[in-house]
């Protein structure tokens, strides 16, 4: 495993981080048992993964807590999140504290390393920063969490307007960011500021349905070509990203997707989700593999660097591509 420092938090973290949400939820959404999920987490830790990202909304904090029992607390960096209360447009101070306390109970921990405000929309950013952060800093002073982070609502903020602001404000020590081969917005909008200000970065959406399911990729390419956003030849191909798979390049499109994100300047941790041990090993191997050839990276920038909001599926549903 390779390790890096998560921005100015000073935390030493694995470059591959286990995400406990997404479509799989550690396999719980696909028929696996809690015991299976616990074993999967333990397998990831045995392979050197020391950053685990969960959330109250994922329903996986309990199995993460089970997996951590008996382990030295400093062996794993635990990140969790609070979402807005159902039906509410804004976070409330009472709710975020209640959610934090519930998360600690579910995890069986006295503190989490990173506590994140989850899916903050641009319109709610000032409220989160000016009203909710002071409430959370009081909880931090009590020792309930070590570092404060923020995550974007990627499908609803394709230009990353919220993160553009958050990366420049001093309150946030980490940010969870959507970045992949066909959604490269962060390169100009976010990474310059996170790098300059020491904000630790956790990458989500490196591989979603668009790169894992050929039919989804083909359909997206046809939509984009029809609106003039990509070359028509990409829509006509049965394997539009096949140019990435070659000797000296990637072994598959999924492999390319992980390697592309991992080696982007400004990326600290690439989050991945899985419910299968073989898939676990394959994902980690891709994240630890060398960068894609520069010719391939340059071609991806030329083909897709202008796109916004493509391939940002929410769990269990796909969203249409947009400019």
Q: What is the structure's pLDDT at 316?
A: 52
Q: What is the structure's pLDDT at 317?
A: 38
pLDDT tens-digit readout, 19-65: 999 888 999 999 999 999 999 999 999 999 999 999 999 999 999 99
CA atoms within 13 A on the CB side of 116: 28
Confidence tier at 212 by pLDDT (50, 70, 90)? confident
Cα separation, 290 vs 260, in Å, equals 9
Q: What is the DSSP letter of 78?
A: E
Do 78 and 50 meet the contact criterion of CB atoms below 8 Å apart? no
pLDDT tens-digit readout, 102-113: 999 999 999 999
Give the CATH class of 3-206+267-295.
Answer: alpha beta
pLDDT tens-digit readout, 56-91: 999 999 999 999 999 999 999 999 999 999 888 899
Cα separation, 126 vs 165, in Å, equals 10
pTM of the model: 0.94
Query: Domains of the chain: which residue ranges?
Result: 3-206+267-295
Confidence tier at 132 by pLDDT (50, 70, 90)? very high
Average pLDDT in the chain: 94
Give yes or no for residue 321 having a pLDDT over 80. no
pLDDT tens-digit readout, 250-294: 999 999 999 999 999 999 999 999 999 999 999 999 999 999 999
Confidence tier at 315 by pLDDT (50, 70, 90)? low
Cα separation, 308 vs 245, in Å, equals 24
Give yes or no for residue 311 having a pLDDT over 80. yes
Cα separation, 314 vs 309, in Å, equals 12
Give yes or no for residue 295 having a pLDDT over 70. yes
Counts of helices then strands in the chain (DSSP H, E): 14, 10
In the chain, the percentage of residues whose pLDDT exceeds 90 is 90
Q: What is the structure's pLDDT at 67?
A: 97
Q: What is the structure's pLDDT at 301?
A: 97
Q: What is the mean pLDDT of residues 8-25?
A: 95
Higher pLDDT, 97 or 318: 97
Give yes or no for residue 319 having a pLDDT over 70. no
153, 200, 160: which is closest to 183 by C-alpha? 160
């Amino acid at each position: 495993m390779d390790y890096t420092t998560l921005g100015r938090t000073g935390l030493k973290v694995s470059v591959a981080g286990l995400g406990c949400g997404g479509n799989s939820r550690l396999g719980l959404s696909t028929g696996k048992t809690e015991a299976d999920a616990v074993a999967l987490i333990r397998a990831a830790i045995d392979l050197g993964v020391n950053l685990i990202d969960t959330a109250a909304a994922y329903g996986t904090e309990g199995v993460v807590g089970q997996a951590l029992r008996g382990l030295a607390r400093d062996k794993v960096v635990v990140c969790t999140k609070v979402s807005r209360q159902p039906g509410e447009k804004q976070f409330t101070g009472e709710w975020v504290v209640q959610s934090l306390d519930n998360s600690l109970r579910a995890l069986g921990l006295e503190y989490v390393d990173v506590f994140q405000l989850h899916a903050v929309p641009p319109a709610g950013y000032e409220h989160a920063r000016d009203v909710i952060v002071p409430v959370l800093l009081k909880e931090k002073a009590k020792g309930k969490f070590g570092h404060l982070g923020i995550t974007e609502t990627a499908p609803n903020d394709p230009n990353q307007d919220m993160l553009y602001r958050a990366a420049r404000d001093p309150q946030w020590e980490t940010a969870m960011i959507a970045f992949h081969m066909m959604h490269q917005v962060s390169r100009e909008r976010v990474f310059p500021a996170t790098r300059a200000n020491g904000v630790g970065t956790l990458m989500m959406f490196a591989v979603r349905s668009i790169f894992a399911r050929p039919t989804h990729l083909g359909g997206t390419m046809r939509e984009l070509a029809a609106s003039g956003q990509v070359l028509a030849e990409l829509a006509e191909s049965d394997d539009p990203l096949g140019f990435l798979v070659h000797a000296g390049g990637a072994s598959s499109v999924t492999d390319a997707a992980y390697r592309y994100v991992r080696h982007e300047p400004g990326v600290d941790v690439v989050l991945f989700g899985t419910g299968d041990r073989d898939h676990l090993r394959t994902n980690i191997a891709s994240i630890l593999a060398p960068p894609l050839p520069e010719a391939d990276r340059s071609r991806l920038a030329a083909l897709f660097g202008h796109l916004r909001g493509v391939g940002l599926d929410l769990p269990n549903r796909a969203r249409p591509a947009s400019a």
